[in-house]
Structure 1
């Protein structure tokens, strides 16, 4: 095994990710990822946005407009990026993410977080019972097929704000009719994350050292390659 140390890198080397691209930077979780990373002041954050999009974007973010029907448009927008976060609505055309990931692979993006927040990709039984199972599994497969990029998933479980208010089919709260449904005995603990906590996790991840300084520090980045990341 060849070891790679920060002390052996050329002058001017920065031992962390500096350039981050986000698809869905104006969305529910994408907004918090973008804002938290920008707030840290360590990264250049770029929103990958469709031409003509009216979605409001966080202050301080760069914008790269793309045409999803033109692969070269996507490749050009992603060149030089070191991490790509994809946060799109589950109602987005299913091939949109595939186009993004293939373009990211051709652009040389080394790290990609596909769409599919909440699930542990190692728990296929749970995923099979989830409405976004196809999106999650296809995204992981697409990243692996690039032959160059590694995937990271955020296993944050249900979003607190979203699940609490969405209706009785999520956490069982029917606020309009003042009713609640108890699952099992209503006392089983569950795991959940806020959108802000997801943003904090994303910011912490891209702030990790990318090359080790001592014998074992690179484990912090390597442990997330092709694995879920808990918040």
Structure 2
């Protein structure tokens, strides 16, 4: 790296700064204090942000508008809602490549990438989530690098949304355990996701003579993090500790994972959002499934100096969210 080449990424553009995940990225980046941050919002947005954040209104139907908003930024973090138009992500990536953005964090926040494991989440009926990484890969020819955050399911979201997701209805004290409820999967809190993003984007772009960590260690690869490798049974036990309950206070149902998967796919075919959740979570929790990437591929928590989290603390946050009205109300 020449003397005139920047050693760190400084200018960050964030799409989705008000969302559950995006807001945690923003908070962690602001706390780290190593970047200037621009949040891209729609023209109709009335969201407010801290004074240190630059807010740029963008017409996502206009490639020129997206390019103007991204010009001059070093890195783009994309967080999009599930209902975003299918052509939006590739158009955003193409716009970033066009104006010379150096790094992209695509809208992929899930399980192991096919570069580290034989499985890629490509069930077409559920949506091929790795298409977001494919979009980023397509920009490599333009000199763009990407880092995908492999974080598993979001913990508080998963147990707080309702029974069709990870099986838990906290308010109703009901749970559906898949098979015996003992299959462990990797999950992450939103807080950990934010801290991991701030940590990795604060690293030098390339290694110096002394070695050490650098952003290039994750060039065109997944950044693997996890708060907990945990089973449904362990989550239920954590809920008992937080709520002061026992199994006798809950309605506990057991369901084969494959049956749950098929049930979800049937509901999805009927246009029910809950079917999507059931099938997606069942596929991850199935015996021999895809949810434990820590054992096979390892995680990067220790490398980044991420502190170990307490399961019950995260569970308590999820309970508070539910008590505050969080969850699916369809």
TM-score (norm 2): 0.62
Whichever of the two has the greater Rg, that structure is 2
Matched, 1:226 2:209: no
Find 1:187's aligned residue among 176, 182, 187: 182
Contact 1:31 1:58 in 2 (8 A): no
**Larger helix share, 1 or 2:** 2
**Separation of aligned partners in 2, 1:95 and 1:56:** 27
Find 1:164's aligned residue among 159, 162, 168: 159
Give the drift of 1:222: 1.9
Gaps of 5+ in 1: none
**Separation of aligned partners in 1, 2:34 and 2:87:** 32
Contact 1:35 1:58 in 2 (8 A): no
**1:153 match: secondary structure:** strand
Give the aligned partner of residue 137 of structure 1: 130
**Separation of aligned partners in 2, 1:26 and 1:130:** 29
Give the drift of 1:230: 1.3
Matched, 1:45 2:40: no
**Separation of aligned partners in 2, 1:124 and 1:100:** 28
**1:143 match: secondary structure:** helix
Contact 1:67 1:74 in 2 (8 A): yes
**Counterparts in 2 of 1:163 and 1:144: CA distance versus 1, 3 Å:** same
**Counterparts in 2 of 1:161 and 1:49: CA distance versus 1, 3 Å:** same
Matched, 1:205 2:197: no
Give the aligned partner of residue 26 of structure 1: 18
**2:38 match: secondary structure:** strand
CA distances 1:86-108 after superposition (whole Å, capped 9, x unpaired):
01111111111111111000010
Gaps of 5+ in 2: 226-330
Give the drift of 1:124: 6.3
Matched, 1:96 2:91: no
**Counterparts in 2 of 1:163 and 1:220: CA distance versus 1, 3 Å:** same
**Separation of aligned partners in 1, 2:132 and 2:113:** 11
Give the drift of 1:110: 1.2
**Separation of aligned partners in 2, 1:155 and 1:74:** 26
**Counterparts in 2 of 1:131 and 1:49: CA distance versus 1, 3 Å:** farther
**Separation of aligned partners in 2, 1:64 and 1:34:** 15
Structure number with higher relative contact order (C-alpha < 8 Å, ≥ 6 residues apart):
1
**Separation of aligned partners in 1, 2:61 and 2:167:** 40
Give the aligned partner of residue 173 of structure 2: 178
